[in-house]
Amino acid sequence: MSQSEDDRARAEFLAEAQEIVEALSRDLLVLEDANKRGLTLPETVNDVFRGVHTLKGLAGMFSFERIAELAHVFEDLLEALRLGRVPMDGGVLDLLFEGAEGFQHLLAGAQRSDAAVDVDVEGLLARIAALEPGAASQRDILSDYDIDPNILSVLTEYEEHRLRSSFEQGRTVYRFRLQLALDAIDTSLAGLKERCSGVAEVLSYLPSSSAEVKDAIEIELLIATRVSPAELRETLDRPDGLLIPIERKRRDSIAPRMDAEAGMAAASLNQAAPEVEPSEDTGSLRSLANVVRVDIGKLDHLMNVVGELGSLRSSFVQLVERLRAHSTDRELIFEAQRIQRGFQRHLGEVQSSVLGVRMVPLSQLFDKLAVIVRQLARDQGKEVQLVVKGAETEVDKLIAEEIADPLMHIVRNAIDHGIESRDERERLDKPKVSNFGIRAFPRGNHVVIELRDDGRGIDPSLVRETAVRRGVLSEHEVGDMTPEDLMEVIFRPGFSTREVVTGISGRGVGMDVVKTNINRLGGAVEIASELGRGTTFTITLPVTLAIISALLFQTRGRVMAISLSAVREALRFEDYALRTVEGREVLDLRGETLPLCRLAELFGLSDGKSVPERMLRTATRRRRVHGGEAQQADDAEVFSSEPPVKSRSGAGFVIVIVVGNRRLGLVVDRLLGQQDIVIKPLGRSLSSVPGISGATDLGDQRLVLVVDAPAIIDEALLGRWLRPSLGGQA
Which tens digit of pLDDT belongs to each residue from 438-451?
999 998 778 999 99
Those residues with Cβ within 8 angstroms of residue 305's Cβ, 6 or more apart along the chain or in another chain: none
CB atoms under 10 Å from CB of 85, counted, come to 16
User: What CATH number should be reported for the domain holding residue 168?
Assistant: 3.30.70.260
Give the C-alpha distances (Å, rounded to integers) separating 596 from 251, 573, 603: 94, 11, 14
Separation CA 406–CA 415 (nearest Å): 15
Dihedral sign from CA coordinates of 715, 718, 719, 722: positive
CB of 597 within 8 A of CB of 665?
Answer: yes
Q: Which domain holds residue 308?
A: 296-359
The average pLDDT across 94-118 equals: 80
Q: Is residue 311 part of a domain?
A: yes
Q: Is the pLDDT of residue 297 over 80?
A: no
What's the pLDDT tens digit per position in 170-180?
A: 889 888 888 88
The larger pLDDT score, comparing residue 554 to residue 592, is at: 554
Would you say residue 273 has pLDDT above 70?
no
**Domain of 88: which CATH number?**
1.20.120.160
Tell me the C-alpha distance between 407 and 388, whole Å: 14
pLDDT at residue 222 tops 80: yes
161 within domain boundaries: yes
Does residue 347 have a pLDDT over 60?
yes
User: Per-residue confidence at 435, pLDDT binned at 50, 70, 90?
Assistant: very high
Cβ pair 30, 46 in contact under 8 A: no
The per-residue pLDDT for range 136-153, each reduced to its tens digit, is: 444 457 777 888 777 776
Q: Is 678 left (phi over 0), alpha (psi -120 to 50) or beta?
A: beta
Inter-axis angle of helices 3-36 and 90-111, to 10 degrees?
A: 160
Within a domain: 170: yes
Containing H/E element for 230?
helix 229-236
Specify whether the CB–CB gap between 64 and 55 falls below 8 A.
no
> How are the residues of the chain apportioned to helix, strand and coil, as percentages rounded to the nearest 5?
50, 20, 30
| pLDDT tier at 388, thresholds 50, 70, 90 | very high
Q: Which residue has the higher pLDDT, 526 or 271?
A: 526
Whether residue 565 sits in one domain with residue 422: no
Residues 245 and 337 in one domain: no
Asked if pLDDT for residue 50 goes beyond 70, the answer is yes
Q: How far apart are CA 427 and CA 547, in angstroms?
A: 53
Task: Give the least confident one: 56-70, 140-154, 179-193, 713-727.
Answer: 713-727
DSSP 280-348: --------S-------HHHHHHHHHHHHHHHHHHHHHHHHHHHHHHH---HHHHHHHHHHHHHHHHHHH
Phi and psi (nearest 5°) for 38?
Answer: 75, 25
Q: Cβ distance 439 to 390 under 8 Å? A: yes
pLDDT at 261 over 50: no
Q: What percent of the chain has pLDDT over 90?
A: 10
Boundary-marking domain end, from 94, 129, 164: 129
Alpha carbon distance 449, 289 (integer Å): 32
Q: For position 606, what pLDDT does the model report?
A: 66
Domain membership flag for residue 34 = yes
Q: How many domains does the chain divide into?
A: 5
Q: Is the pLDDT of residue 573 over 70?
A: yes
Tell me, what's the pLDDT at 645? 37
371 within 8 A of 29, measured Cβ to Cβ: yes
From the centroid of its chain, how far is CA 171? Answer: 40
Residue 654 has pLDDT above 90, yes or no: yes
User: Residue 696: phi, psi to the nearest 5?
Assistant: -145, 155
Q: Which of 513, 542, 571 is the last residue of a domain?
A: 542
Q: What is the 3-state secondary structure (H, E, C) of 435-503?
A: EEEEEEEEECCEEEEEEEECCCCCCHHHHHHHHHHCCCCCHHHHHCCCHHHHHHHCCCCCCCCCCCCCC
Query: Rounded to 5 degrees, what angle do the CA atoms 498, 502, 505 make?
Result: 60
User: Does 277 map to a domain?
Assistant: no
Say which DSSP state 131 is in. S
Indicate the SS3 state at residue 263. Answer: helix
pLDDT band at 392 (very low <50, low <70, confident <90, very high): very high
Report the range of poorest mean pLDDT among 84-93, 245-254, 659-668.
Answer: 245-254
Asked if residue 447 lies in contact with residue 395, where contact means CB atoms within 8 angstroms, the answer is yes
Could you tell me if 514 and 659 lie in one domain? no
**Which residues are registered as beta bridge partners of 529?**
535
**Residue 721 pLDDT greater than 60, yes or no:** no
Residue 643: the pLDDT is 39
Q: How confident is the model at residue 607 (pLDDT cuts 50, 70, 90)?
A: low
Q: How many CB atoms lie within 10 A of CB 111?
A: 15
* pLDDT over threshold 90, residue 416: no
Question: At 276, is the pLDDT very low, low, confident or very high (cuts 50, 70, 90)?
Answer: very low
Calculate the average pLDDT of the chain: 76
Distance of alpha carbon 434 from alpha carbon 453, whole angstroms:
8
Q: Using an 8 Å Cβ cutoff, are 26 and 367 in contact? A: yes
pLDDT at position 419: 92
* Mean pLDDT of all residues in 536-546: 86
**Is the pLDDT at 49 greater than 60, yes or no?**
yes
- pLDDT band with cut points at 50, 70 and 90 for residue 454: very high
Span 6-28, mean pLDDT? 82
Comparing CA positions, the residue from 25, 13, 183 lying closest to residue 99 is: 25
Torsion over CA of 474, 475, 480 and 484, rounded to 10 degrees? 70
Banded pLDDT at 70 (limits 50, 70, 90): confident
| pLDDT at residue 89, as a whole number | 83
Is the separation of the CB atoms in 602 and 712 below 8 Å?
yes
* Per-residue pLDDT at 509 exceeds 80: no
Q: Which of 359, 392, 408 is the last residue of a domain?
A: 359
As beta bridge partners, residue 437 has: 387, 452
Q: In whole angstroms, how far apart are CA 369 and each of 25, 32, 292, 451, 512?
A: 10, 16, 26, 11, 20
Task: Say yes or no: 162 and 214 in one domain.
Answer: yes
| 3-state SS string for 49-107 | HHHHHHHHHHHHHCCCHHHHHHHHHHHHHHHHHHCCCCCCCHHHHHHHHHHHHHHHHHH
Regarding whether 377 and 353 lie in a shared domain, the answer is no
Q: Does 135 reside within a domain?
A: no
Kindly report which listed range (113-127, 457-471, 523-537, 660-674) carries the lowest average pLDDT score: 113-127
Backbone dihedral angles phi then psi of residue 704, each to the nearest 5 degrees: -125, 155
Segment 236-262 shows an average pLDDT of 66
Backbone CA torsion sign across 64, 69, 71, 75? positive
349, 307: one domain:
yes
In this structure, the answer to whether residues 625 and 653 fall within a common structural domain is yes
User: Do 545 and 396 contact (CB within 8 A), yes or no?
Assistant: yes
Query: Is the domain of 355 the same as that of 366?
Result: no
| 288 within a domain of the structure (yes/no) | no
- Between CA 507 and CA 517 the distance in angstroms is 18
* pLDDT, greater one: 727 or 435: 435
Give the highest mean pLDDT range of 62-71, 240-249, 361-370: 361-370
CB atoms under 10 Å from CB of 55, counted, come to 25
Closest CA to 522 of 655, 398, 351: 398
80 and 150 assigned to the same domain: no
Answer yes or no: pTM beyond 0.75. Answer: no
Half-sphere exposure of 250 (CA within 13 A, CB side): 7
List the Cα angle 331/335/336 in 5-degree steps.
115
Sequence-ordered list of residues with C-beta below 8 angstroms from that of 488, at least 6 positions apart, any chain:
527, 718
**End-to-end Cα separation, the chain, in angstroms:** 55
Q: Compute the distance between CA of residue 438 and CA of residue 457 in angstroms, rounded to an integer.
A: 17
pLDDT at 250: 66
Flag whether pLDDT at 265 surpasses 60: no
Question: Residue 200 has what pLDDT?
Answer: 87
Do 526 and 656 share a domain, yes or no?
Answer: no
Asked which of 78-87, 122-131, 578-587 is least confident by mean pLDDT, the reply is 122-131
pLDDT band at 498 (very low <50, low <70, confident <90, very high): low
573 and 712 housed in the same domain: yes
CATH code (residue 508): 3.30.565.10
180/259 same-domain check: yes
648 pLDDT tier (thresholds 50, 70, 90): very low
Beta strands 703-707; 558-563: pairing state: parallel
The number of C-alpha atoms within 13 Å of 324 and in the hemisphere containing its C-beta is 11
Considering the domain boundaries, does residue 230 fall inside one?
yes
For residues 295 and 11, the answer to whether their CB atoms sit within 8 Å is: yes
Q: Is the CB of residue 362 less than 8 Å from the CB of residue 390?
A: yes
- Residue 218 pLDDT grade (very low, low, confident, very high; cuts 50, 70, 90): confident
